[in-house]
Amino acid sequence: MPARFEFLGPLKQLVEGQDVVEVEATSVGGALEELQQRYSELSKRLLAEDGTLHRHINIFVNEEDIRFRENLQTALTAGDQITVISAIAGG
């Protein structure tokens, strides 16, 4: 069973507006590499030049912030729910 990614808010545009994107991968970083093959703008918007997650982006694996786990090395298992959000500032 693949992991299920949800990109919320403006980030949804990165995956062509899809509600859920399914990925077979063993880590969050691996999943993002896989998604990059499908969606060319994705890495640039989520990752800094050094390959780390931009600090205005948050990824939650089953509601847990990957910054408090192993960042992009955080392991994925079948059926994990991954939520990706970006800081926004408009008012």
Residues that bind another protein (CB under 8 A): 8-10, 19, 45, 54-58, 60, 63-65, 67-68, 83, 85-91
CB of 26 vs another protein, minimal distance in Å: 24
Min CB(17)–another protein separation in Å: 9
Instruction: Compare residues 26 and 52 and give the one whose CB is closer to another protein.
Output: 52
- Interstrand relation of 81-86 and 3-7 (parallel, antiparallel or unpaired): parallel
CB burial of residue 28 (10 Å; 0-12, 13-18, 19+): buried
What is d(CA 21, CA 3) in angstroms, rounded to the nearest whole number? 8
Q: How far is the CB of 80 from another protein (least distance, A)?
A: 15
